[in-house]
Structure 1
Amino acid sequence: MKFTTVIAAVLSMATFAIAVPVAVPAPAKDVEVRQNHGKCVKSSGGGVMEDVNC
C-alpha cells in the first residue's frame, strides 16, 4: 500500500473513534431514584395493574 493510503486509513479510523459515543457512568443514587418509582405492580388476567398494598 502507498503511504498516503495508510495515512488516509488511519485518519478515517481516528474519525470513527472520536465519533463513538461514550457512556458516562451515573452516580448510584441517581440510578436508585430512577429504578424506585414508588409503584408496585402485579399481573392479573394477562394485564398489569398497580398494587396499592405493597
Structure 2
Amino acid sequence: MENLVSVITDFDLKTGLSKRKQPLRRYLSNMKRMFFDETAYNQQVSPEDTLVYEFLVVVKL
C-alpha cells in the first residue's frame, strides 16, 4: 500500500475557498474533443472562452 502524506489546507467553511491556494479553472477551450457534437462545440468556443468550472486543488506532498 502506498504511503500517504497528510496535507493541511486552509479554506472558508462557507465559500470553500482557500486564502493560500489558487483555484484551478477550466475553460471551454480546455475541453476540446470532450463533446460528441464538435460543430456545436466550435461554434460555442469561438465567440467567448467560457469558464466551465473552477475548483480548489489539494496538492499531495
TM-score normalized with structure 2 length: 0.20
Higher relative contact order by CA 8 Å / sep ≥ 6: 1 or 2?
2
> Which of the two has greater helix per residue?
1
